[in-house]
Amino acid sequence: MKRSGDSQYTYYAYWSAFLVPSVRVRKVSFEVESGTPLDVALYKEGLTSYRSSVKFGRPRGIADASVDYGDNLCVQVTGEGLVDPTRYRVVRDVEVTFGNRATAGSRMSGRLRRFFGAGFQNNLFMRGGVGWDVTRRVITGSANLEKISHFRPPELSKVEFLKVSNLIVGGGLAGLGVAAALDASGRDFALVESSGVPGGRVEIARRLLNAAPSTYATDDDSAQVSSLLRLVESGSAAFRSGRGRLIEGTFCGFYEEKIGVVLCSEGAIAVSFDNIIFANGRRSPVPLLRGNDLPGVISIDYAARLAAHRALRGKTLLYSEDKWGSLVGRLIAACGADIEEFVQSDRAKIASILGQRRVEAVVFTDGRRKPLSNFVYATFRQPALELPAQAGVGYSWVAAADALRADVSADGSTALPWLWAVGSVTGLCELEASYHHGLAAGYALSQDDGKSRAELKLVSVRGGAGAPTARSADAFICRCEDVMVSDFEAAARKGLIEPEKIKRFTGWGTGVCQGKHCLYNGLRTLARDGASPYTQRLPITPTPFAALASLGDSAK
């Protein structure tokens, strides 16, 4: 398997008859528990900085997966069916090849971009003639991924076509609420949940609670998680009647024909539906601090995943603006991780994150330095709008609240009668309230208006607002396309102030994360009340051609 030119960065694997799967790195193999996500396994071995940027020569570790677990990984997995293509779970011995280290072109174009900013190709010296010829070569030489012929498709054995009346996207409390109400009314449904286990955020908390020695978690925290778990349990009962089906996989969006595509471990599923209900929650955007692109800057959700596998190592600072984030932080601490919560105040503010190839320290505005291995952020959560927005649900930025709000009525219905959004993806409610919001929508879908109204009464609208965060000019807004706050300023100087135009000028939101994180930070930087995001494009999760083609083949 050895190829010339990338010996240092080729990871060897071997087949073995043992039950414990192993990954081999630089001729050193390590064993992992079966089912461990590949990124977690590598993180655990300290292999976070082995992969360099796809372009622009910036070091990006496996920890980049914090953006969206497997979604943003550019790891190439070879071998047959060894690793789940959506979540890269190690189930047998693994043969993995990472892309080469940053190419010279990548490093150079990174410098060009750093120096001239976005749109650097318009510079007088680079926009025509020999200057452009050279620049073009630098840019085209900058992609880091393997050449095409080295790619091998993941083994996709499964092609399935499914028809349901109601398709629920997201198995957190809101999605479970919808499922419970539909089941109680005798309606059929399918629920897509990427982890395969319903519960969403609560499920992550449960795993941490289980991993922690009981004496460490506080009674209050345990009690809060337990009461939420009871809701998860009553919602999960919906799957017992057989009217509903739980699909494990990543929902990649749906098309004009009302067919959704789900990417799962073994292949792809096409689901045609009459109604679709988005319950895909919200997430924390990365703080706009200098150094926010370094490996080791990870979201609280990802930190929780690492901690549950005991892979969160070294000194960790939790930058918290969110109550739920603080709770998860305490659970992580209870699991034995060295994590310390930090709440920004007038007296103590973080100025920047420092590090060469990964996080090494944070610097406070008063000049104090604190050495670190991980910087975990639990910022004010924003609706995971990529799915509802793709489907036509409007969102707009409310500057005073520092948050996105959806054009959704109180019960979750939208302008399209067959399209609903429930729970925290609407920006209206979360956790317990989300469950009731889901129930209300589920009953409304079953034409049971009395029950729907009763549940709506239990929904408390959350009015909270995010704390205005620091914004340094060289903080990254978009980490896939290397767009910084200063690039937005450059766009404004050129008269480009609308999201659509800025997207086209800087590349903001067009990378492989499909804007899942950078959208908020972009709108926050624009700071324009009522600004609506750029048009969201399909597929919401980059999908291997092999999966899409298998659906096409079977249609023939």
Partner 1 sequence: MSDYDVIIVGGGGVGLSTAYHLAKKGLRVCIIEKNYLGSGSSTRNAGGFRVHFKAEENVRYMVAGRKKLLSLPKETGWNVTPITGGYFWVLHNEQAMQEFRELNRMWASQGVAGQLLGGKEVKERLPMLELGATVGGFFGPQDGGFHHDLVVFGYQAAIRRLRVDVREYSPVSGIIVEGGKVTGAKVGSREIRGEKLVICAGAWTPTISRLAGVDIPISAERREMGVTEPIKFFLRPFVIIPSEGVYFAQGLRGEIRGTVTDLKTEGLVPLVSTYAWTVEYARRLLRVFPGMAGVRFNRQWSGYYEMTPDHSHIMGRGNAWPEGLYVAAGFSGHGMMMSPITGELMAEHVSGDTTPQLMLPFSPDRFAEGKPVRELMVF
Q: What is the DSSP string of 521-536?
A: HHHHHHT-TTPPPPPP
145 part of the interface to partner 1, by CB under 8 A = yes
510 part of the interface to partner 1, by CB under 8 A = yes
Binding mask 264-283 for partner 1 (x = CB under 8 A): ------x-------------
97 part of the interface to partner 1, by CB under 8 A = no
**Only segment of 39-47, 365-373, 381-389, 537-545 that touches partner 1 (CB under 8 A):** 537-545
70 part of the interface to partner 1, by CB under 8 A = no
In whole angstroms, what is the distance from residue 38 CA to residue 83 CA?
A: 8
349 part of the interface to partner 1, by CB under 8 A = no
146 part of the interface to partner 1, by CB under 8 A = yes
Binder of partner 1 out of 162, 259, 401, 470 (CB under 8 A): 259
The answer to whether the peptide bond before residue 539 is cis (omega within 30 degrees of 0) is yes
394 part of the interface to partner 1, by CB under 8 A = no
* Least distance from partner 1 to the Cβ atom of residue 542, Å: 4
Binding mask 466-495 for partner 1 (x = CB under 8 A): ----------------------------xx
- Eight-class DSSP state of 62: G
Binder of partner 1 out of 122, 227, 234, 365 (CB under 8 A): 122
Residue type at 376 in one-letter notation: V
* Least distance from partner 1 to the Cβ atom of residue 543, Å: 5
CA 12 to chain centre: 28
Q: Which parts of 428-533 fold into alpha helices (H)?
A: 432-445, 449-456, 485-493, 499-506, 518-526
In whole angstroms, what is the distance from residue 428 CA to residue 406 CA?
A: 8
Radius of gyration of the chain (CA): 23
9 part of the interface to partner 1, by CB under 8 A = no
74 part of the interface to partner 1, by CB under 8 A = yes
405's enclosing H/E stretch is strand 403-406
In whole angstroms, what is the distance from residue 137 CA to residue 142 CA?
A: 8
Give the count of residues interacting with partner 1 (CB under 8 A).
Answer: 60
In whole angstroms, what is the distance from residue 95 CA to residue 426 CA?
A: 41
551 part of the interface to partner 1, by CB under 8 A = yes
Strands, E assignment, 36-157: 76-78, 95-97
In whole angstroms, what is the distance from residue 308 CA to residue 330 CA?
A: 13
424 part of the interface to partner 1, by CB under 8 A = no
152 part of the interface to partner 1, by CB under 8 A = yes
* Contact partners, residue 159, CB within 8 Å, separation at least 6: 267, 268, 269, 550, 551, 553, 554
In whole angstroms, what is the distance from residue 163 CA to residue 51 CA?
A: 41
CB nearer to partner 1: give 20 or 416.
416
Binder of partner 1 out of 13, 54, 307, 518 (CB under 8 A): 54
538 part of the interface to partner 1, by CB under 8 A = yes
* Least distance from partner 1 to the Cβ atom of residue 263, Å: 10
149 part of the interface to partner 1, by CB under 8 A = yes
Binder of partner 1 out of 132, 216, 364, 418 (CB under 8 A): 132
Q: Which parts of 290-335 fold into alpha helices (H)?
A: 300-308, 323-334
Give the binding site for partner 1 (CB under 8 A). 54-55, 74, 76, 121-122, 126-128, 132, 136, 139-149, 151-154, 255-257, 259, 261, 270, 494-496, 498, 500-501, 504-505, 507, 510, 512, 514, 535, 537-539, 542-546, 548-549, 551-553, 555-556
